[in-house]
Amino acid sequence: MKAKLLLLLAGIAASAQTGDGPAFNASGELTMPKYREWVYLSSGLGMTYGPAGNGDPENPRFDNVFVNPSSYRAFVETGRWPDKTMFVLEIRQSHGKGSINNGGRYQSNVVSVEAAVKDERRFPQRWAYFGFGRGEKATAAPATSSCNSCHSQNAAVENTFVQFYPTLLEVATEKKTLNPAYVAKSAGQ
Amino acid sequence: MKAKLLLLLAGIAASAQTGDGPAFNASGELTMPKYREWVYLSSGLGMTYGPAGNGDPENPRFDNVFVNPSSYRAFVETGRWPDKTMFVLEIRQSHGKGSINNGGRYQSNVVSVEAAVKDERRFPQRWAYFGFGRGEKATAAPATSSCNSCHSQNAAVENTFVQFYPTLLEVATEKKTLNPAYVAKSAGQ
């Protein structure tokens, strides 16, 4: 009886600490997690990575970024992402006037959901990128995709845009885990 | 021994389900929680509740809203806020160009943090409002404050601006817990 209870205790502890990262179905597709209960990293409005004119100033979109909780806690401790880290990027429409709001923008419907996964066994390039659209499952973009090249060339920590997540930028700066290429570019700006 | 283990088990279960709401110190001040690990509700940029001209279009601020996880789960089930619910509003500066971003805005430093607490025993008006500024503790605004009157007159569910939290607006609409005054005003817009 005592052994059984200890086993149960260990099970509770384990389920609280792991298993909150990426899940793949039998066909190897990434399945949509309950990311709205994950840890929030930051939001942008109308962020534009190509030429500034490519944005739509009349209908800017919000992007909200979430990460699985156990990886967040590991990053706060070490400034690095453990294997099986998963990011979710949620893109939403914005509204202007509405209810008591007379200026600025607030969030409305989901436009699409994207994800990034670190899985060293599954992906030779370590990080892979996924577009869920409005669906519940997604396949990885090829390793040669523009997602992979842009993240590996411009991200502040490993392949992740920590430069846009103020709470994590503080951690990475303190733990000295910023990518050297990012540090060199920032110094030149 | 068996009783001790069962007690320990019960303790673990209890700490996972409760105790994540507001905490007050011996002087009755609300203390700052680790809200960045709470459930994220939504963000706005440059939201303006007075006349539109009151906003600062050159330096709009982001606001991020978080709620304690056990109250979030209760709301998803019922469309209502349990006693000891706590909201945190985090206000951050925004940046435009930076790194690979050429348009739109992303988040930077915290400007101030505010909170709303539902505590029926502590506050006769049920909900109370707090300004932390950049500090770690705060006292409740008087029940006659403009926070109280604006929230009680304009919020979509109880005293909370669920109209600006798209995932919760869906829940409240389905559970039919929207305030009648909000429903009437929305129909007239």
Tally of domains within chain A: 1
The verdict on a CB contact (< 8 Å) between A43 and B107 is: yes
* Mean of the per-residue pLDDT values of chain A: 90
Does residue A73 fall inside a structural domain? yes
Domain that holds residue B61: 22-141
CB-CB contact of B112 with B91 (8 Å) = yes
Does residue A182 fall inside a structural domain? no
Q: Residue A189: what pLDDT?
A: 65
Nearest Cα residue to A129 out of A172, A81, A70, A89: A89
Query: Which of A:46-85 have CB within 8 Å of B?
Result: 46-55, 60, 62, 64, 66, 69, 72
Q: Report how far residue A165's alpha carbon sits from residue A64's, in angstroms, rounded to the nearest whole number.
A: 11
DSSP assignment string, B146-169:
HHHHHHHHH-SBTTB-GGG-HHHH
Percent of chain A with pLDDT over 90: 78
Percent of chain A with pLDDT over 70: 88
Q: Residue A51: what pLDDT?
A: 73
Residues from chain A contacting residue B62 (CB–CB below 8 Å): 43, 45
Q: Which amino acid is at B94?
A: S
What ipTM does this complex have?
0.89
Does residue A1 fall inside a structural domain? no
The yes-or-no verdict on residue B8 having pLDDT over 60 is no
Model confidence, pTM: 0.90
Q: Can you tell me the mean pLDDT for B89-94? A: 97
Does residue B169 fall inside a structural domain? no
The yes-or-no verdict on residue B74 having pLDDT over 60 is yes
Q: Can you tell me the mean pLDDT for B55-76? A: 94
A164 contact B CB<8A:
yes
Q: Min CA distance, A130 vs chain B (Å)?
A: 20
Give A32-66 pLDDT, tens digit per residue.
999 999 999 999 999 988 776 667 778 999 999 99
The yes-or-no verdict on residue B157 having pLDDT over 80 is yes
How many angstroms separate the most distant Cα atoms in chain B?
68
The yes-or-no verdict on residue B174 having pLDDT over 90 is yes
The verdict on a CB contact (< 8 Å) between A164 and B107 is: yes
Does residue B124 fall inside a structural domain? yes
Give B13-38 pLDDT, tens digit per residue.
444 445 899 999 999 999 999 999 99
Closest residue, chain B, to A153 (C-alpha): B100
Q: Min CA distance, B7 vs chain A (Å)?
A: 11
Does residue A4 fall inside a structural domain? no
Chain B interface, best mutation among A1, A95, A102, by max B CB count within 10 A: A102
Residue carrying the six token digits 């109209």 = B163
Q: Can you tell me the mean pLDDT for A157-170? A: 98
Q: Residue B11: what pLDDT?
A: 45
Q: Report how far residue B180's alpha carbon sits from residue B24's, in angstroms, rounded to the nearest whole number.
A: 33
Confidence at B49, pLDDT banded by 50, 70, 90:
confident
Q: Residue A80: what pLDDT?
A: 98
A131 contact B CB<8A:
no
Query: Which of A:80-119 have CB within 8 Å of B?
Result: 92, 94, 98-110
DSSP assignment string, chain A:
-HHHHHHHHHHHHHHHHSS-S--B-TTSPEEPP-GGGSEEEEEEEEEESS-GGGS-TTS--EEEEEE-HHHHHHHHHHSSPPTTEEEEEEEEEEE-SBTTB-EEEEEEEEEEEEEEEE-TTT-TTSEEEEEEETSSEEPBPPTTSHHHHHHHHH-SBTTB-GGG-HHHHHHHHHHT-S-HHHHHHHHH-
The CATH number of the domain where A55 resides is what?
A: 3.50.70.20
Does residue B174 fall inside a structural domain? no
Q: At what angle do helices A146-154 and A180-188 cross, to 10 degrees?
A: 70
Q: Report how far residue A131's alpha carbon sits from residue A126's, in angstroms, rounded to the nearest whole number.
A: 17
Give B111-121 pLDDT, tens digit per residue.
999 999 999 99
Does residue B147 fall inside a structural domain? no
